[in-house]
Amino acid sequence: MSFKQENNKNKLKLLLVSFSFFPDDSPNTYRWKNIIDIWAAKGIEVFVVSAQKPGFRKFEIVNGIKIYRTGRSLFQRVKTKLGSISNENLVIRENDKSLNKESLFRKTYNFLWKRFCWPDWAFLSYYPTLKLSREIIKRENITNLITVSWPFTDHLVGYKLKKENNLFWLAEIIDPFSFNNEINNQKIYSKLNFSVERKVLNKADLVCVMTARIQSKYVSLFPEINEKINVIHNLYVPVKDVFLDNNKKKESKAIKFVFMGTLSPGVRTPENLLKIFEKLLNFKSSINLELHLYGKINSSIKSFNEYADLINKSIFLHGSVPKNQVHYILKEADILVNIGNSNPYQEPSKIIEYVYLGKPVINICSINNDSSKELLDQYPLNFNIYKSDIENDNMIEKLIEFVTKNLSVERSHIDKIISPYLLEKVEKKYYNLFWK
């Protein structure tokens, strides 16, 4: 660790490589934009290399942060032709029952691109990102580097830059790679995935993950990194007024369920939620219930075919919304709905926001060791449902009771739960690791 101590105090310059960054509405952007805004205000000179997308400038300075974007000429053109996979917006018209449409480009993406690309869907961004990062490091004499996954391609860029330069490198792992079945074709690439991730982890000076469960898994697979792997939780920046008018008089008499997030086959699917909601509608027809889904859900649109008659009557599909509207939408909900990830090694960032709002949360558990349930166990206003519970009428009765009760929780208890996720604590942990 002597390199960090000798250089960082004299020249506080940092290069952050993150495929998604401002103005993207992505977890990577949300986390790192908030952190490096603080660092830039402290006098650290921050440079960011991210992907160029339609409407994004190649270069701009935001809050003192120099943001460079690259890859449009190669990566983004191909990806755009594959049906705008990364930025889906969904509108379902009143009489439109054709929820089964899937473009040829999307089929190509799902059955060819996703199955055979390596290390992940962002592989075409590797060379333009590497080239631009090299130029910035050389021109600015940068000695500090952070790479952020997802995608893992960013870490391959970091690995190459570290080999070529005298850098202090922190590799931030938001989503695991070698033991994540959704990354690429494990039947083809499992040995390669493991071998390359080991090289990346060994080369990095520091490794950060979001949960102790992920840390334990990595140490069990790569025991040599035990001394340099750290846990720094997900990040949440509260909107201060969102819980003040929870008791505001409602305009609608319906009990409004709201899901906010991304649906994806094999990772987070809506089938069990839809079955449960239909059971609730049939079980207690005297109660007016509405289910509203917001976010990127086109890839799971076939799941709604069976419920087409309920679309725009009891089930409403809104598509993606800007991040600055999210808290207002959640504030208007009566019940917040979470669908657990099929990956147990992922910290559910949305749950933190749900808890902060102080509203009842229904958690649809996709697996037994659901990571959302682990976090929600601290929160009294939660109801966990497994697939095996769906046909249990006694469980449905309990769920009806949960939904119709006027539940509340002390603000002091909520503050205690979310304390480890607040910006000032997360930023300080990174700062102490990297700059001291």
Q: What is the DSSP letter of 248?
A: S
Distance CA 242, CA 240 (A): 6
The predicted structure's pLDDT at residue 189: 81
Tell me if the bond preceding 344 is cis, omega within 30° of 0.
no
Count of Cβ atoms closer than 10 Å to residue 313 Cβ = 10
Tell me which H or E stretch contains 108: helix 104-108
pLDDT of the residue at 47? 97
Residue 217 is predicted with a pLDDT of: 92
For 401-409, the CB contacts below 8 A with 24+ separation are 402/360, 402/362, 403/255, 403/280, 403/287, 403/289, 403/334, 403/335, 403/360, 403/362, 404/255, 404/287, 405/360, 407/360, 407/381, 408/358, 408/381, 409/358, 409/379, 409/380, 409/381
CB 50 within 8 A of CB 67: yes
Give the largest Cα separation in the chain, rounded. 70
Question: What pTM was estimated for this model as a whole?
Answer: 0.82
The CATH architecture annotation of domain 2-96+103-231 reads 3-Layer(aba) Sandwich (3.40)
Tokens 């007016």 sit on residue:
288
* Predicted pLDDT of residue 173: 93
Domain 255-419: give its CATH code: 3.40.50.2000
20: amino acid identity, one letter? S
3 state SS for 321-383: CCHHHHHHHHHCCCEEEEECCCCCCCCCHHHHHHHHHCCCEEEECCCCCCHHHHHHCCCCCEE
CB distance 287 to 322 below 8 Å:
no
Spans in the chain with pLDDT lower than 50: 1-10, 73, 82-100, 242, 244
Q: How far is CA 179 from the centre of its chain?
A: 18
What is residue 282's predicted lDDT score, i.e. its pLDDT?
87
* pLDDT, tens digit (0-9, with 9 covering 90-100), for 218-228: 999 999 999 99
Q: Check residue 292 and give its pLDDT.
A: 95
Decide if 65 contacts 40 (C-beta within 8 A): yes
Where are the chain's structural domains? 2-96+103-231, 255-419
With CA atoms as reference, report the closest residue to 49 among 142, 188, 182: 142
> Would you say the CATH fold of 255-419 matches that of 2-96+103-231?
yes
Query: Token pair for residue 43?
Result: 């006098």
Whether 396 and 435 have beta carbons less than 8 Å apart is answered as: no
